[in-house]
């Protein structure tokens, strides 16, 4: 499983599509959305199920709130 930003994906699309062709799941993180590039199961046409790493992921809102709180805490100490 590979996780990349939208900028990284746009810059190196061929690389990530090749990874997907070789059965590597590629997750594209952009804002509060995540997109998955994955090869469909050839026998059923269905996509792979999310693995344990994706289930452990935290929502972007939680990341944003944590970063804002951290910045405010650091800035408050400097003032």
Domain boundaries, the chain: 2-78
Query: What's the mean pLDDT in 48-67?
Result: 74
Element (H, E) at 34: strand 33-37
The three-state secondary structure class of 38 is coil
* Pairing label, strands 2-5, 26-30: parallel
Q: What is the pTM of this model?
A: 0.48
The three-state secondary structure class of 72 is helix
Torsion of CA 45, 50, 36, 2, to 10 degrees: -120
What are the pLDDT digits (tens) for 5-46?
888 888 998 998 888 888 888 888 887 777 887 776 555 555
């Amino acid at each position: 499983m590979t996780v990349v930003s939208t900028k990284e994906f746009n810059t190196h699309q061929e690389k990530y599509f090749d990874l997907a062709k070789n059965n590597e799941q590629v997750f594209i993180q952009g804002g509060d959305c995540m997109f998955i590039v994955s090869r469909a199961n050839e026998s059923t046409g269905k996509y792979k199920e999310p693995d344990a790493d994706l289930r452990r992921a935290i929502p972007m809102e939680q990341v944003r709130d944590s970063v804002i709180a951290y910045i405010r805490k650091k800035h408050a100490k400097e003032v």
